[in-house]
Amino acid sequence: MAMTDSVNFLLSTVNLDTSALQTLVRDPHCGGFASFEGWVRDHQEGREVLRLEYEAYPALCAKEGIRILMQAVEKFGVRKAAAVHRTGPLEIGGVAVWVGVTSAHRRECLEACEWIIDEIKVSLPVWKKEFFADGTHEWVRCDACARGHDHGDHAHSHHQA
Amino acid sequence: MNITVHYFAILRDRTRVDSEIVATGSVDPLGLWHELERRHGFGLDPIHFSVAINDEFSEWNHPLAEGDTVVFLPPVSGG
């Protein structure tokens, strides 16, 4: 079982200082550090996006975040893993999510980092609302469900950002 | 029994409240969903949602108990 102090998961209402976040995973035994940053982009499926808002279910996020990171430490044998997700309003180019992993050698931390962001996207209880240039806004994946329901069509796919 | 329901994302928009205490006769989250659907008019199919009881992922047919906290989770879109 991995030590619990090897993982850190946080939600943040303020802009992420990604250099400072490296301290969460620094370790003298580690020669490899891999990180991923998810940035707010200005388009979604051909539509111009002006800004985003993220909303989280904090109590379940804390549990689910730690579960994902602990699983990564065990699965890939990395030393430390951390992830931070923003909540609240974000502008284009803002950092929405940061993942950092350290290990003795490079391969484990690179693989673990990719696995962690993939898991975050499918299971962390966080929701993104996109505000479009045409003045409309949508909860990503949710509003598509509502339309599918209205049309009696449950067979649509849930696209991933 | 009294159940606390917290709403997030599209459900908070639809209900216009963050949470509410519901006096319900529903025995499980699916029954509670349909009861609240009649009250708020979600206009959404629960097939797309997950459910949490007391901050743990749960099942739609898990028995509810007095004082439980229930959250219906829309499809997630973090990252």
ipTM of model: 0.94
In a domain, A157, yes or no: no
Q: Which fold has domain B2-73?
A: Ubiquitin-like (UB roll) (3.10.20)
Do B73 and A57 count as a contact with CB atoms less than 8 A apart?
yes
pLDDT band at A5 (very low <50, low <70, confident <90, very high): confident
Q: Which of A127, A143, A159 is the best mutation test for B, with the most CBs of B within 10 A?
A: A127
**pTM here?**
0.90
The alpha carbon of residue B78 is apart from the nearest alpha carbon of chain A, in Å, by 5
**CB A120 within 8 Å of CB A127:** no
Query: pLDDT tens across A99-152, in order?
Result: 999 999 999 999 999 999 999 999 999 999 999 999 999 999 886 666 555 444
Give the total number of structural domains in chain A. Answer: 1
Beta-bridged to residue B19, according to DSSP, are: B6
**Where do the domains of chain B lie?**
2-73
> Does residue A159 lie in a domain region?
no
> Inter-chain contact B48–A127, Cβ cutoff 8 Å?
no
Which whole-number Å values give the CA distances from A134 to A47, A52, A130, A137, B26, in the listed order?
A: 9, 14, 11, 9, 42
Q: What is the mean pLDDT of each run of 10 residues along chain B (79 residues)?
A: 97 96 98 96 93 98 98 96
Asked if pLDDT for residue A160 goes beyond 80, the answer is: no
Tell whether the model's pLDDT for residue A159 goes beyond 50.
no
Q: Tell me, what CATH number does A58's domain have?
A: 3.90.1170.40
Determine, yes or no, domain membership for A120: yes
DSSP H helices, B1-79, are: 10-15, 29-40
In 3-state terms, what secondary structure has residue A74? helix
Give the pLDDT of residue A142.
80
Instruction: Please list every residue in chain A whose beta carbon sits closer than 8 Å to the beta carbon of residue B52.
Output: 57, 60, 125
Tell me what pLDDT residue A144 has.
63
- Nearest chain B residue (CA) to A87: B78
Q: Does B48 touch chain A (CB under 8 A)?
A: yes
Closest chain A residue to the Cα of B49, Cα to Cα: A142
A24 min Cα distance to partner chain B (Å):
19
Question: Does residue A156 have a pLDDT over 70?
Answer: no
pLDDT at site A141: 85
Residue at A126 is within a domain:
yes
Nearest C-alpha in B relative to A153 = B45
Note the pLDDT tens digit of each residue in A34-77.
999 999 999 999 999 999 999 999 999 999 999 999 999 999 99
Range of the domain at A78: 4-150
Cβ–Cβ under 8 Å, residues B69 and B6: yes
> Nearest C-alpha of chain A: how many angstroms from B23?
23
Chain A CB contacts of B12 below 8 Å? 55
Query: What pLDDT does A13 receive?
Result: 98
